[in-house]
Structure 1
Amino acid sequence: MIVGTPKEIKNHEYRVGLTPESAGELTARGHEVLVETNAGRDIGALNEDYEAVGAKIVGTAEEIFGRSEMVVKVKEPQAVERAMLREGQILYTYLHLAPDPEQTHDLIKSGAVCIAYETVTDNSGGLPLLKPMSQVAGRMSVQAGAAALEKAHGGRGVLLGGVPGVAPGKVVIIGGGVVGFNAAQMAIGLHADVTILDRNPVTLERLENHFESSAKVIYSTNALLERLVMEADLVIGAVLIPGAAAPKLVTREMLSTMQEGAVIVDVAIDQGGCFETSKATTHADPTYVVDGVVHYCVANMPGGVARTSTYALNNVTLPHALRIADKGWKQALRDDRHLANGLNVWNGLITCEPVSRDLGLDYTPIDNALKG
């Protein structure tokens, strides 16, 4: 199979779909790998590193999309990239379609086979291709929030860890999954006053057993959320419903009760965000202010630590890429139901039920795509 990786073009996105090591795994199995020139430069992967493992460097994204049978990316294809997709071509990347009708319609129109990292599952019910980026984003959320709290950045001027004689900052984390767990680890490490909210009894017990007295782990109710948000210095949105748009848990009315200079970091922004006032930002202009509250809503947070993120991502995406290249997409998905759950768009049809529901589009069961 001809597998291609273009240079990412989303604002301040420095990750790359295939590392040289991953490209080498593919070429060792007899596949042809095309890499756009300088696609990996920002993580320290040079053209000659790819050539050393048998990959071919090509000059343009047009050539990557034009020649490749499977395109391996990191972020959702931008409009100019979507226009280059063709019928039957495999797109293997993050998509986050539920809050993005424009991208969804373009992918439907393309006729491409679109496999989304974020809906591939595993035996434990987890999302293994999303997990490493959730770990990165969770940890970065506290770094970003701590910086935004500095007065020069529009914040309250609060040091999360406090100092002797001065209370630490209050951090409220909404959601106790992978993002929330990693955010809590970082906030606790800074000696902040940490509260984690969730509604899953199993998650609450796991968090309580792990953090013990280092964090307050509480069942979330609307009344409690409203009170804690009002008192918080930093609120981190870490809510995820696989494949679906994030629920708007913090309303504009709640926001208006927050302290001036408080900060919110919406890690759920890829799925539309869990704050009513959230809108996607970029690393070039990461924050804005509503009702005196600083909003950090960067939609590709892990891109800020691109080398760490790329290698962590490739560790989990490569095994599936190898299976798809070796077997063809249809047989690979037939053989692995968890990988099949990643199929979001096929032959102009939506095959991910949460996406179809949130966008009001017809749903086609994945099994229909795997027949024949």
Structure 2
Amino acid sequence: MKIGVPKEIKNNENRVGITPAGVLELTKNGHQVYVQSTAGEGSGFSDEEYKNAGAEVLGGIKAVYDVAEMIVKVKEPIAEEYGLIKENQVVFTYFHFASSSELTDAMISSKAICIAYETVEDKDGTLPLLTPMSEVAGRMAVQQGAKYLEKPIKGKGVLLGGVPGVEPGKVLILGGGTVGIQAAKMAAGLGAIVTILDVNLKRLRYISDVMPDNVFTGFSNEYNIRKLIKTYDLIIGGVLIPGAKAPKLITRDMLKEMTPGTVIVDVAVDQGGCFETTKPTTHENPTYIIDDVVHYCVANMPGAVPYTSTVALTNVTLPYVIKLANMGWEKACAGDEGLHKGLNIIKGEVVYEGIL
């Protein structure tokens, strides 16, 4: 199969769909890989490394789309790419269709086969292709939140870890999934007081068992959220409904109950966000302020640490890419129930319930 790896053109997106190591595995399986020139530079991979691994490096993005039977990307195609996608072409990437009707309509019109990383499932119901980026984003949420709590950036002026004689900052995490666990690890490691809210009591029991003593759990409901937001410094939204829009757990009126300079980080922004006031931002302009509350809603957080993110992503996507290339998308998806759940749009027809 001819596999294309275009350069990501979303604002400040430095990741790339496949590492040179991934290219080598694909060429060993008899496939041709076409990589757009400089596609890997942001992640620390040169054109020469891709050539040495067996790829052919092409000069422009159109050349890659023109030659490829399957496109392997990181982020969803943006408007400039819509017209490049061909009928019957397989596009394997993060799509997050639920948050963009424009993207959905464009992919329907393209009549391509759209397989979304974020809805591929393991046998146990987990999301293997979303997990590594959720791990990165969860850890980054605390890093970024800690930074934006600084007073020069309009935060409260709170150091999350505190110092002797001064109590540490308080972090509220909505959702006890991968994002929540990783955020809690980071915040707890800094010495903050951490509370995780979730509706799954089995998950809360697990979190209570494995987390250090400065991490607490609570049941997620509006009453508890309203109570806690009044005294917490950093609030991280990490809820997920696979393939569908995230629920709005913090409403506009709740902002007035927070103390000025509170920072909220919405990791669910790709799925529409779990705060009512969420709007996607970029690494170039990552924050905005509403009612004296600092919002950090960058839609591609892991793009800021592209080497780590690209290697982590290729580690999990490559077996699926090889399967799709070896067998073709129809046989591969028919024989793998988890991969089949990654099918979102097939030749103009929406087949994933979450985006209907």
TM-score, normalising length: structure 2: 0.99
Aligned to 1:223: 223
Aligned to 1:277: 277
Distance 2:336 2:194 in 1: 40
1:65-117 CA-partner distances (Å, limit 9, x unpaired): 11100000000001111211111000000000001000000000000000000
Distance 2:125 2:217 in 1: 23
Partner amino acid for 2:311?
A: Y
Aligned to 2:179: 179
Distance 2:46 2:99 in 1: 35
> 1:86 and 2:92 equivalent?
no
Aligned to 1:341: 341
Distance 1:306 1:138 in 2: 15
Superposed, 1:65-214 pairs within 5 Å as 65-211=65-211, 213-214=213-214
Aligned to 1:351: 351
Distance 1:15 1:212 in 2: 33
Aligned to 1:292: 292
Distance 2:277 2:219 in 1: 24
Q: Secondary structure at the match of 1:256?
A: helix
1:143-188 CA-partner distances (Å, limit 9, x unpaired): 0000000011110100001111111111000000000000000000
Aligned to 1:365: none
Distance 1:124 1:141 in 2: 27
Distance 1:215 1:308 in 2: 27
Distance 1:132 1:83 in 2: 30
Distance 2:304 2:326 in 1: 33
After superposing on structure 2, the runs of 4+ consecutive aligned residues of structure 1 that deviate more than 3 Å are: none
Aligned to 2:26: 26
The 8 Å contact of residues 173 and 197 in structure 2, kept in 1 or not, is answered as: yes
Distance 2:132 2:97 in 1: 20
Deviation at residue 214 of structure 1 after TM alignment: 2.5
The 8 Å contact of residues 188 and 212 in structure 2, kept in 1 or not, is answered as: no
Distance 1:193 1:142 in 2: 12
Partner amino acid for 1:52?
A: N
Superposed, 1:259-338 pairs within 5 Å as 259-338=259-338
Aligned to 2:13: 13
Unaligned runs of 5+ in 1: 357-372
Distance 2:137 2:130 in 1: 11
Distance 1:270 1:78 in 2: 14
Number of residue equivalences: 356
Distance 2:282 2:212 in 1: 36
Aligned to 1:368: none
Superposed, 1:54-65 pairs within 5 Å as 54-65=54-65
Partner amino acid for 2:66?
A: G
Partner amino acid for 2:248?
A: K
Distance 2:75 2:204 in 1: 32
Deviation at residue 53 of structure 1 after TM alignment: 1.4
Distance 2:51 2:229 in 1: 52
Q: Secondary structure at the match of 1:236?
A: strand
- What is the aligned-residue RMSD (CA, Å)? 0.6
Distance 2:222 2:54 in 1: 56
Partner amino acid for 1:15?
A: R
Q: Secondary structure at the match of 1:98?
A: helix
Deviation at residue 141 of structure 1 after TM alignment: 0.2
Distance 1:37 1:337 in 2: 35
Distance 1:212 1:145 in 2: 21
Distance 1:154 1:116 in 2: 37
Deviation at residue 212 of structure 1 after TM alignment: 5.1
Distance 1:237 1:230 in 2: 16
Distance 2:322 2:214 in 1: 42
Partner amino acid for 1:159?
A: L
Q: Secondary structure at the match of 2:181?
A: helix
Partner amino acid for 2:123?
A: N
Aligned to 1:232: 232
Deviation at residue 349 of structure 1 after TM alignment: 0.6
1:233-252 CA-partner distances (Å, limit 9, x unpaired): 00000000000000111001
Distance 2:54 2:163 in 1: 55
Partner amino acid for 2:292?
A: G
Distance 2:274 2:229 in 1: 13
